[in-house]
Amino acid sequence: MKKRFFLLCFLIVGLFGCILSAFWMLYTIIVSPDSQRGWRVVIAYDQLANAMTGGSEDETISSRAGREKKNGTQWACVLCKFLNWLQKDHCENSIGT
Nearest to 44 by CA among 62, 30, 58, 64: 58
* Structural domain count of the chain: 2
Q: Indicate whether 17 and 52 sit together in one domain.
A: no
Q: Indicate whether 49 and 84 sit together in one domain.
A: yes
The residue segments making up the domain with residue 48 are 35-97
Q: Indicate whether 58 and 96 sit together in one domain.
A: yes
Q: Which residues contact 37 (CB under 8 A, 6 or more apart)?
A: 24, 28
Q: Indicate whether 50 and 89 sit together in one domain.
A: yes
Q: Indicate whether 81 and 94 sit together in one domain.
A: yes
Residues of the chain with pLDDT under 70: 97
Q: Indicate whether 17 and 50 sit together in one domain.
A: no
Q: Indicate whether 27 and 48 sit together in one domain.
A: no
Alpha-carbon dihedral 25, 29, 34, 39, rounded to 10 degrees:
30
d(CA 16, CA 84): 33
Looking at 32-73, list the stretches that DSSP marks H as alpha helix, in order from N- to C-terminal side. Answer: 36-52, 61-70
pLDDT for res 21: 87
pTM: 0.73
pLDDT in tens, 45-65: 889 999 999 999 999 999 999
Q: Indicate whether 96 and 58 sit together in one domain.
A: yes
